[in-house]
Structure 1
Amino acid sequence: MAGDLPAELLFSAVFPLPFRVLSLAGLGILGWATNVHGLHLAGIDARSVLDLDSYDPRHSRRALAANDRRGMGWKYFQSPISVYRPVYSLFMVYAAWIATNWLLYRYATYADLDRVDTFKFIPAIAALVVTMVLVSPFNVFEKVERDRFLHAIHRCLFPLPRRVHFTDIVYADVFTSFAKVLGDLWLSFWMLMPGGSLLVLPAQEGIASWILPTLMSLPYAVRLRQCLIDYRAPGNTSSRPLYNALKYATSFPVIYLSAAQRIVVSELRLAKGDAVVHEAWHGEHALFRLWLFAAIVNSLYSFWWDVTHDWGFDLLVPRSFAAEGIPHRPHRTSSPPRPLVLPGLYSPVAMLTPEPAPTFSDASKESLFPHEREHPGLRKPPFSWHPFGLRSKLLFPLPIYPFAIVADLILRLTWSAKLSSHLHAYTDGDLVIFCFELAEVVRRWMWVFIRVEWEIVKEGKDGHVRSPAVGPTLGLGDEDYEMVASNQDGHGDVGG
């Protein structure tokens, strides 16, 4: 029975690492579908904001056909329903496949350690079928969404040389939350190979001991490169991308110092015996203290960046200092933040077409936002200190933001531990690591909502007003394409 298994092997026998990797991947699929769906329910057209049509292989063909028919610059856009509905379908099929294989594995092994490795071909077949379907050229299992995912990976690994789009930034940040999953994928591969075991991690000695941290650091290297591309982009005069790049650079010491602690374990094992292998921390060693310092710096810096730059809140901005390009905020408003506008003003159609911002004389002092002219209560001093440390324009209910900030702080502090491969040496370390990975996926899911919201507010502040006037529509329903006029001034895409 499962209760008779040794504590350190119970979790690995019941829920081996390959199934944990597949489960987290499925949770990522579900998270993305609920992100787009939730934004849609909030009146935000995530498809337009994230420019998801640039990932749609059908988009270019339809756009060319429209150009040929009308002889003018028209684009086709789809409702967000056409994004999240097939992703939900894909998740249901994926979840059914993984659950069936796991139940079959549990029935075959019945928590018997002697049977675990005998039936390890079950998770191997499950993973192989998932991989084959992912790269399949046949129009089955939501091929458009599968191609969109592969295209996203390609654009993140090989970004445009002059500009990184906002959608690529979001995708790359999501991939950083799966950094540990990439390392687990490498370990799972060797576990499933002949000679491997689902109960014991593969030996990591010599050069092989650095492959795992290198794979885990790959998403951060991708995001670091995106920041440098933004910094060198023509017309950029801000140093903000460099500070953002510094945030991702601070993750490398956490990852590699954690891997280096395995060397410490090997040295202590020679001195103290095999019992030292089951010790999680080796605080008497200077390497551990250096890793702890790097983890604290990275976690706190990342949390500050999330709140201040990714979400646009004033909570952690000192009043005596001005954010880059923003004058000192001299005073605090007396009323709580207000919702941005009625959801209808940011309907899927209204959010699609950028319109050049109208120009006004300095004497007019008229807001660039039509809805602010209609609702004077929404107008705030441009550089005021907002109550509760938030901002003047909010799309979601107010209680969501304090919860998100506190949750982000707690989960950021556990983030570095999640990237620490030496915790696998701890009894029940696999369970601890899996909980950290699960929490990080949930944190990133929450992060996406507010990150996309801030991009909308920020674009509005920059004058990229979304006009309710759009081009003619085809009238084919939510899942069909709508035709809207493309912006002719070069601002058609939402950049990062």
Structure 2
Amino acid sequence: MKGVSAIPAVAIIPSPLFLWRVKVILFLLWGLCCCKIGWDSVMRMSVDLRDLFLYEAFLYYNPLLLVALMIWLWGVNLWVFAQSSVNYAKVFDLSQTHLSHREIWRCATWLTLVVPTSMTAYLYLYSHGEVSLAASQPVLLYAILLMILLSPFDMFYLSSRFFFLRTMWRIALPLQAITFPDFFMADIFTSMSKVFSDLERSGCRMVHRQVATIAWFEADSICGSHSVAIPLVLVLPYLCRFFQCLRQYKDTKEKTCLLNALKYSTAVPVIFLSALKYHVFPDVWISFYRPLWLISSVVNSLYSFYWDIKRDWDLSILTRIFMFKNPSAWSNLLYGRSWVFYWVLGSNLILRCTWTYKLSAHLRHNYLTVFAITALEMVRRFQWVFFRVENEWNKMTAKQNFELSSDMPPSESDRLLDSNSHKV
């Protein structure tokens, strides 16, 4: 009708909370479907073949699942820093376009979706006789992830991928002055040494076309469990960190850099003494090499524990952790509590000691236990990140305050009290 203004249509937009709940429900349904299909596929196999096949499938997919876990935990770290007074972007010298915790969680979500989906397809196709199609699943997954990581196109967070790859290059070849992101990421890589070892073994099987076969189980084959490449890859992150410390000593002449290098060097005998089990007689291993392995593992665990508490964290930091801008019930629960102090000390010591189990070459066949301990090591590193970054931020702010105070002009009272300004 004329004279009557039309009522504008109001678009009904679902609330963010509703959308989040829908995503969680879909995620859980997808997880249940993957578990159901995977379980039915495994049950179709014979009992003799089942354990060997699960061990191989686990080898291809467990490192990617652990990487996804580390990304999830890193997102939590960034979320906590965003709520607190710690300016992590300045600590890591990040640009304004750095990834937020939400974007980190988005990457972790996609990885958490893709990896179990590929694993479910692998189990299903193999159990139904499609061996060649099953073998293509992990190969295709690794190829896609590698192409995304190395893609030069402005997609999938190009600047962040470039920063990550550049830091990895600086870790591998410490030819320039070492920055905080360099040795921080190198420390995280030491906790992921088992992940790198499994990635190497997976890549070896893909290159030699041993996927979806049991040929890889031959211990003396090029990709077998006795391969020399396994301890070499395990020790690589520690060697990179060792050379970083030497480079820092060259630049700064600080003796603590040499003590830190000594800490990383203690990991070398743990790894190689363990690997000798497959290359010496059993009696020689039990009577001579195993006691040396135990002694070296205890030395490394205790030395690393001391360095975490005394050097990386600075015990005094435990009285002021998580200084939130907007305190909540959770932050008030943590702030200044003595139980946080005991939890940090106790959990870090226990998980440092379990490091020996997850990293030892002669224990790699207990893959479920090693997977659990590796995941716990990442939780320990996740906890370590809070105190290490806050400690670095406190050092930076203390240095800035000192420089500001030294640059300030003297006050009127200081000039009057200065004897050099008076003539007698």
* Structure 2 unmatched ranges of 5 or more: 1-39, 327-333, 405-424
In the alignment, the residues of structure 2 paired with residue 18 and residue 41 of structure 1 have an alpha-carbon distance, to the nearest angstrom, of 37
SS at match of 2:356: helix
SS at match of 2:85: coil
Query: Which residue pairs with 2:8 in the alignment?
Result: none
* Structure 1 unmatched ranges of 5 or more: 54-76, 272-281, 316-336, 346-393, 468-496
SS at match of 1:140: coil
SS at match of 2:363: helix
In the alignment, the residues of structure 2 paired with residue 410 and residue 116 of structure 1 have an alpha-carbon distance, to the nearest angstrom, of 43
Query: Which residue pairs with 2:61 in the alignment?
Result: 19
Structure 2 counterparts to residues 9-408 of structure 1, below 5 A? 9=51, 12-13=54-55, 15-53=57-95, 77=96, 82-110=99-127, 119-161=134-176, 163-192=177-206, 193-195=208-210, 200-201=216-217, 203-204=219-220, 209-233=227-251, 236-264=252-280, 267-268=281-282, 284-313=286-315, 338-339=319-320, 343-344=324-325, 398-408=338-348
1:35-79, Cα deviation, whole Å (9 max, x unpaired)? 2222112232211112123xxxxxxxxxxxxxxxxxxxxxxx45x
1:359-404, Cα deviation, whole Å (9 max, x unpaired)? xxxxxxxxxxxxxxxxxxxxxxxxxxxxxxxxxxx97755333212
The structure carrying a bigger helix percent of its residues is 2
Query: Which residue pairs with 1:62 in the alignment?
Result: none
CA displacement at 1:86 relative to structure 2: 2.5
1:172-193, Cα deviation, whole Å (9 max, x unpaired)? 1011111111111111123333
Query: Which residue pairs with 1:478 in the alignment?
Result: none
SS at match of 1:209: coil
In the alignment, the residues of structure 1 paired with residue 384 and residue 50 of structure 2 have an alpha-carbon distance, to the nearest angstrom, of 34
Percent of matched pairs sharing the same residue: 30
Query: Which residue pairs with 1:74 in the alignment?
Result: none
Would you say the 8 A contact 2:270–2:360 is kept in 1? yes
Would you say the 8 A contact 1:223–1:248 is kept in 2? yes
**Quick one: structure 1 residues 303 and 157, their matched pair in 2 at CA, closer, same or farther if it must change by over 3 Å?**
same
- Structure 1 residue ranges (4+ consecutive) displaced by more than 6 angstroms after TM superposition: 114-118, 205-208
In the alignment, the residues of structure 1 paired with residue 79 and residue 103 of structure 2 have an alpha-carbon distance, to the nearest angstrom, of 11
RMSD: 3.3
SS at match of 2:315: coil
In the alignment, the residues of structure 2 paired with residue 219 and residue 31 of structure 1 have an alpha-carbon distance, to the nearest angstrom, of 20
**Quick one: structure 1 residues 466 and 107, their matched pair in 2 at CA, closer, same or farther if it must change by over 3 Å?**
farther
**Quick one: structure 1 residues 445 and 201, their matched pair in 2 at CA, closer, same or farther if it must change by over 3 Å?**
farther
**Residue 436, structure 1, aligned to residue 367, structure 2:** no
Q: Which has the higher contact order (CA 8 A, sep 6+)?
A: 1
Would you say the 8 A contact 1:224–1:249 is kept in 2? yes
SS at match of 2:134: coil
Task: Give TM-score scaled by structure 2 length.
Answer: 0.73
Query: Which residue pairs with 1:415 in the alignment?
Result: 355
CA displacement at 1:206 relative to structure 2: 9.0
Stretch deviating more after TM superposition (120-129 or 7-16): 7-16
Would you say the 8 A contact 2:275–2:362 is kept in 1? yes
> Number of paired residues?
351
